[in-house]
Amino acid sequence: MTVLHLADEGEAADLAAFLSRLLHYDRSAAVRLQAAGKALAVFGRPPSFEVLAIRAVRLAKPYENGLDATLDVTVSAGEFLESVDESAATAAVPAAVTGPPWAGVLPPRGGWRAEPGLPAPDALRAMVGAAVAEFRSRTQELAPERRTRAELDRVGREIWSRTVGETPLPVRAVHAAQSLGFLRTPTPPGTAYPTGEPSLALLSSSAWLRLRTPYGSIAVRRAGLGALDVSVR
């Protein structure tokens, strides 16, 4: 069995928290793991948001029995979570599963360029809070006979498909980042993001947009481009 040695206990705890959040939205969630050298990328797709979530995990050393190769496998998120040992900072890679369609279409690895106009983290969190409040208010005002799943979905699509400021990023991507713990306030509040971590940014490459935060990224396909410019790996 392949064992991943994570950089430290904190890295293991963050990985476990990310997997737990994915499973909150889909108890049968799968994740695609890609590791090379001392970096592990964990890809997941929370169904409520129609985005890809990417959590980068630092490894203490290349994974066992694969020093000269890369790891690329789709596994059960629940089984992977069960294998995480926070005190030992390790995680065992479960047996591969038949991946869902999204697992075969990932954002490109390179060619990303910065997009202007992304608001500050506090403004993004406030935007999500206002959108959630609007959804609750509008759905609570619906007459009982109109409070159907189709109507709730229609209201949700209208709100979450709006774009962030002058950018092409849909609000649902920011909501996903907030819900998965990627937009959390640094501890203690008011301090900067962790030293050495990438700053908050909006990036684009081909048909993809990526909201990058110090704790993970949310990738989303640009609207209207169909199946063009995808990276199948």
Give the chain's domains with CATH numbers. Answer: 3-106 (3.10.150), 115-200 (no CATH)
What does the pLDDT profile of the chain (233 residues) look like in tens digits?
Answer: 788 999 999 999 999 999 999 999 999 999 999 988 889 999 999 988 889 999 999 999 876 555 556 789 999 999 999 999 999 999 999 999 998 999 988 999 889 999 999 999 999 999 999 999 999 999 999 998 998 999 999 999 999 999 999 999 999 999 999 999 999 876 544 444 454 455 899 999 989 999 999 999 999 998 643 433 333 34
- DSSP H helical segments within 33-186, as ranges? 77-83, 121-140, 149-160, 171-179
Query: Given this model, what pLDDT does residue 198 score?
Result: 58
Q: Are 60 and 115 in contact (CB under 8 A)?
A: no
Q: Are 172 and 214 in contact (CB under 8 A)?
A: no
Query: Given this model, what pLDDT does residue 231 score?
Result: 38
Query: Given this model, what pLDDT does residue 99 score?
Result: 82
Among residues 23, 213, 195, 208, the alpha carbon closest in space to that of 125 is found at: 213
Q: Are 159 and 205 in contact (CB under 8 A)?
A: no
Burial of 109: CB neighbours in 10 Å, binned 0-12, 13-18, 19+? exposed
The rounded distance, in Å, linking the Cα atoms of 59 and 39 is: 6
Query: Given this model, what pLDDT does residue 121 score?
Result: 92
The rounded distance, in Å, linking the Cα atoms of 32 and 45 is: 10
- How far does CA 193 lie from the centroid of its chain? 18
Query: Given this model, what pLDDT does residue 195 score?
Result: 47
List of residues 6+ apart from 154 with CB closer than 8 A: none
Rg (CA), the chain: 18
Among residues 52, 10, 17, 42, the alpha carbon closest in space to that of 194 is found at: 10
